Chain A
Amino acid sequence: MKPRPPTLREKRRYLLVRIAPPSNVVEPRELYLAILEALSSLHGDTTVAKVQMAVVKATGEYAIVRCTRGWEALVTGAMSTVTAVNGNRVALRTLAVSGTILALQKRMAGSGGGGPERTCDLMYREKWYQAYYYSGEKVDLIEKGFKSQELLFLTTEDLEEL
């Protein structure tokens, strides 16, 4: 089918989203379903149909979400009510809004990778944790085990004070 001319196409906006904590691996489909549920619960099916939300990309710490122009604030609001994706606790932070994916990709490249600098095992309050050290003195501790793993967010200074 021949694509529509630009004047007849619907204008879109793209939102750059940071997914916290970075240790979580989030699948694009799961992220889409979580945002869709939040959007639908907040604004109803009629609005969801108008917004035409889609997850364009979700790699590592970042995701790019698409919506129809004019509905960005609404999608931002809905994304801030997402507290879990596929049972894992997450927070979705909207970093930027743009009319092109390229602009957001440049921004993603400029902000550097969100992966941990190093990981190690450590004992904290008589429990074993997997520690993820990130830039900016951030340390995420994930309790070792299979069930109800405790998650702690500290800094290197907090650990030194032990």
Chain B
Amino acid sequence: MSLTDACVHPFPAGDSSIRRMALEARQLGLSGLVAIDTPPGIVEGMKVTRGVIIAATQVKEVLSTLRKVPRADTLVMVNATDPGFVRAVIGLKSVHILRHVHKAEKYAFDHVAARMAADHGVAVDFDLRPVVYYRGVPRQKVLQRYRDVLTLHHRYEFPLTISTNSRSILDMRGPRELRALSALFDMDEVVFDGIAPAVDRLLSPGNPVRVIG
């Protein structure tokens, strides 16, 4: 099964070079990586997509950063904060992924945002780093939030991505482990298998539907 890790931070942000991460990803059985601030291309036989993370509190800041984003083959991710910000960001044309839903306000990603995400083809990212690293109540809250997003996904069917947010090869996980971790917030096999082509589709979305005849 092909699966892309939607967010990794290679050296110097992390302790592993992009080549080493690509080698590890290939060994783990992943089909691609989205590497933050790393040139795109094929590294050690692995497709590497450039990603950019925008961590802002104002839409104005997001817009000014979007102007500096290099090319069309870059995946733009924005960290969620509050409901107004989330809705505004989902409406922007160049934004591909909304991430850190677990850190945002409780109902920052609500049914209105979910419908907008489905209409605009903006994906919501499941960052598995807090699931791996947190313990106790903080982890329970993350799992609860992810379960809530999944409920909205079942209704509105917006795209989903899955990421490990790794800064090291030791944080990377293979499809078998990602599937097991996703099962913790009740992601079933069908939804998990549907995540696989999401990253490619985000960069080259299909043409709008034409009514013929």
Contact = CB atoms under 8 A, between A and B. Distances in A.
Tell me, yes or no, whether A binds B.
Answer: yes
Interface of A: 20-21, 41-42, 73-74, 76-77, 79-81, 83, 89-91, 93-94, 136-138, 150-155, 157-158
B170 A77 contact: no
Given A80-B132, A80-B180, A158-B19, 16 more contacts: A20-B169, A73-B179, A73-B183, A76-B176, A80-B173, A80-B177, A93-B174, A93-B177, A137-B23, A152-B16, A153-B16, A153-B20, A153-B168, A153-B170, A154-B19, A155-B17
Contact of B15 (A41, A42, A93, A151): A151
Given A41-B135, A77-B184, A154 B20 contact: yes
A94 B170 contact: no
B172 interface: yes
A27 B141 CA distance: 33
Given A77-B183, A80-B132, A94 B169 contact: no
Contacts of B139: 41
Contacts of A137: 19, 23
B208 to A, nearest CB: 40
A80 B23 contact: no
B20 A77 contact: no
B128 to A, nearest CB: 9
A152 B11 contact: yes
A81 B173 CA distance: 10
24 contacts: A20-B170, A21-B170, A41-B135, A41-B136, A73-B180, A76-B176, A77-B181, A80-B132, A80-B177, A83-B133, A89-B168, A93-B28, A93-B174, A93-B177, A94-B174, A94-B177, A151-B15, A153-B16, A153-B17, A153-B20, A153-B169, A155-B17, A155-B19, A155-B23
Interface residues of B, number: 30
A41 B16 CA distance: 29
A150 B15 contact: yes
Q: Looking at A41, A81, A137, which has the most chain B CB atoms within 10 Å of its CB?
A: A81
Contacts of A93: 28, 174, 177
Contacts of A41: 135-136, 139
B23 A77 contact: no
A41 B168 CA distance: 24
Contacts of A157: 19
B89 interface: no
Nearest to A90: B170
Contact of B132 (A74, A76, A81, A138): A81
Interface in B50-80: none
